[in-house]
Amino acid sequence: MAQAASFRFHKMHGLGNDFVVIDARQAPVAIDAARARAIADRREGIGCDQLVLIEPSTTVDAKITFFNADGSLAESCGNASRCIAQFLGGESRVETAGGIIELKAEGAGATVDMGAPRFDWDRIPLAYPVDTASLPVAWEELEAPAAVNVGNPHVIFFVEDTDGVALDRLGPIIEHDALFPERVNVNVATVEGPQRLRLRVWERGAGLTRACGTGACATAVAAIRSGRVQSPVTVKLPGGELVIDWAPGGTIRMTGPATHVYEGEADGL
């Protein structure tokens, strides 16, 4: 693939979940898996959890493609979506592989309408039909997770102590389990109050991150659905807090900060 000798980029983050944002609406920038990995490399590239490519759309304000640090594609990314809301400004609608989402920049943050969650086993997707409210599976002390698709697939384990879970070891095992044909994001959560959750996430294709917007959405939905909490829910992640609002039958609204760190130009990537 022919690649531009250089490209401009923006470094942004949402609660420490960091992104390289490339605006290719005016000048195309070719990105494939290998180039995404090179850009995301923290030693020899720019460094990020995900790369976000903004391209023109014929139907909405922009087309957004999310690349994980390992070069794989992600259907959706909540924290990156808030950053895109800040980048585009005002109110906007964008297309992603996970569907159309609505963005609204608000002060130093943004609210994103992530669409409706999906619970059918074949829309998670899972390898075979089971009750997605409580999967009949276990990995050591982690058992009976809920499964939710919020633009990308998640499993959610409710535990007494999120810090006591060896997520760096169990996360990749669960992510690559045969039950999940498209792999899966792994969430471990503790209920801290009627409208409060604590959360750690192993992100598919990225590993442990300081925050995961879609993980917060999926976990809040699973907790509301099972009667553990009530909406709106404040989700505490290692990088900070997000507020998730959802009622059964409706769409998920996520509110939180988004930060522009710097703008630069890269050569040789």
Q: Which residues are catalytic?
A: 77, 212
Identify the three-state secondary structure at position 36: helix
Sign for the pseudo-dihedral over CA of 115, 191, 240, 124? negative
Joined together, the tokens standing for residue 91 give 């109110």
Residue 234 to residue 255: CA distance in whole angstroms: 10
Each residue of 164-189: b (16+ CB within 10 Å) or e? ebebeebbbebbebebbeebbbbbbb
Q: How many angstroms separate the most distant Cα atoms in the chain?
A: 54
Rg value, the chain, Cα: 18
Strand pairing class (109-115; 138-139)? unpaired
| DSSP letter assigned to residue 118 | B
Write the DSSP symbol of residue 121: G
Question: Quick one: which of 221, 235, 253 has its CA closest to 132?
Answer: 221
Distance CA 9, CA 11 (A): 7
